[in-house]
Structure 1
Amino acid sequence: MTDAEILLEEFLALRTPEGLRAQLVEGEIVVTPPPEGDHEHCMSRLVRQLVKRSRVEVQVSGHKGLVLGAAPGAPKDHVIPDGTVVPLTGRAFRGAPPWMPCDGVSLVLEVTSRRHRPELDREAKRRCYARGTIPLYLLVDREERMVTLFGRPEDGEYLRRDLAPFCKPLLLPEPFGFDLDTADLH
């Protein structure tokens, strides 16, 4: 067995205490505590807009496990976004295993934690989502007071990056097709 296979086997066998999330990100096991209230406030604002304002009907799952590509020499990433968005017409969540492939995912979103490694969302998870060729990655960076939309994944990176400071709208392209209101995300 390779080191990557051993690490993946150990990760999948973890018994994480209730409320904690374990992820395998670029060959590192990361355990995170439950989010605080301000984090969940941001998430509820984002989810409400995605569901009510998107041009297509969407489903949003909080904390759905995704299996993505792998960093060189590492096992496949097993990442849990704060939000995973799929078209309502698909059956992406129905019957899906705890760690599902990212096929059919339109957008993932992360809200940085003030307590636990915001650089994970800014850097490592961005590369994970790009390796998984997820079309859009929406990052709400509360420390920087900035919302970033990453798009056009290619070769493990996103080629497009659109930024909006809090209180300025950010255009979400099709299939969403609306200006995201960022005023109440702080």
Structure 2
Amino acid sequence: MTPSTAERPQMPVEDFEELERLAPKTVKLEFINGKLEVKPLPDPVHGEIILWLIERCMQQRPDLGLYTDRGLKIEGYRKGRARPDGTLAPRRHFLARGQGEWADPDGVLMTLEVTSSDSDADRRDRREKRDGYAEAGIPVYLLVDRDHSTLVVYSEPKDGTYLNRRAHPYGTVVELPDPVGITLETAELEGFTN
């Protein structure tokens, strides 16, 4: 039986960090589950959904920032490195910690992913990254699933998994649990098409 990529990563994490640093700005690289991942550049709808979420977060929680493409160490999950579409943390959180390109997830309240139209979205966003964020102890993971027109809220991480999963169709009111404490009225998302 051949060992999985997670048991035998494709490369040391230090090599990945150097490769990512030298990569052209036209691609985004991540190191998930011991495997090099190429994340597609976002399309215009993807960007509008992120902007919509930033606005809601700023309106309701001006003490927090929704940081886009912030590199996170998800060490407990196979020495991973991920760039969530959004990372919700107290404002100036990453400045105060002086962590460079890849930050420790301690103090992060929520990660956010918006699915893309590529074939790896199911594995990457719906499983591997979800599990990595749970393993890192990030309290809330919000997945905007464009394929199913839903917002899926994962919360209560324990032993590498989220104990709570709730899917909400576009057009409903979504309560993001504590410590996030934000309410999303999602009717506007119904107008965002792929």
Match of 2:182 in 1: 178
Structure 1: how far apart are the matches of 2:95 and 2:10? 27
Q: 1:42 to 1:27 in 2, by over 3 A?
A: same
CA shift digits 1:124-152 (9 cap, x unpaired): 10001001000000000000111011001
Q: 2:25 aligns with which of 6, 18, 28?
A: 18
Structure 2: how far apart are the matches of 1:93 and 1:4? 31
Q: 1:64 to 1:19 in 2, by over 3 A?
A: same
Q: How does 1:146-157 map to 2 (within 5 A)?
A: 146-157=150-161
CA contact (8 A) 2:156 2:162 kept: yes
Match of 1:129 in 2: 133
Q: Give the alignment's TM-score, normalised by structure 2.
A: 0.85
CA shift digits 1:10-60 (9 cap, x unpaired): 312213121311100011100123101000010001111011113x61012
Structure 2: how far apart are the matches of 1:29 and 1:6? 8
CA contact (8 A) 1:26 1:70 kept: no
* Cα shift at 1:123: 0.6
* Cα shift at 1:83: 0.4
Match of 2:64 in 1: 58
Alignment of 1:32 with 2:39, yes or no, is: yes
* Cα shift at 1:107: 0.6
* Cα shift at 1:116: 5.0
Structure 2: how far apart are the matches of 1:177 and 1:22? 31
* Cα shift at 1:115: 2.9
* Cα shift at 1:102: 0.4
Normalized per residue, the structure richer in helix is 2
Count the aligned residue pairs. 180
Match of 1:104 in 2: 107
* Cα shift at 1:4: 4.1
CA contact (8 A) 1:53 1:176 kept: no
Query: What root-mean-square deviation, in Å, do the aligned CA atoms of Structure 1 and Structure 2 show?
Result: 1.9
Question: RCO higher in 1 or 2 (8 Å CA, sep ≥ 6)?
Answer: 1
Give, as a single letter, the amino acid of the residue that structure 2 aligns with 1:163.
A
Match of 2:3 in 1: none
Structure 1: how far apart are the matches of 2:74 and 2:135? 7
Q: Give the alignment's TM-score, normalised by structure 1.
A: 0.89
State the SS of the aligned residue for 1:105: coil
Unaligned runs of 5+ in 1: none
Structure 1: how far apart are the matches of 2:17 and 2:166? 35
Structure 2: how far apart are the matches of 1:143 and 1:149? 16
Q: 1:91 to 1:178 in 2, by over 3 A?
A: closer
* Cα shift at 1:8: 1.7
* Cα shift at 1:101: 0.4
CA contact (8 A) 1:42 1:184 kept: no
CA shift digits 1:45-77 (9 cap, x unpaired): 1111011113x6101210000001344xx4x11
State the SS of the aligned residue for 1:92: helix
State the SS of the aligned residue for 1:113: coil
* Cα shift at 1:3: 4.7
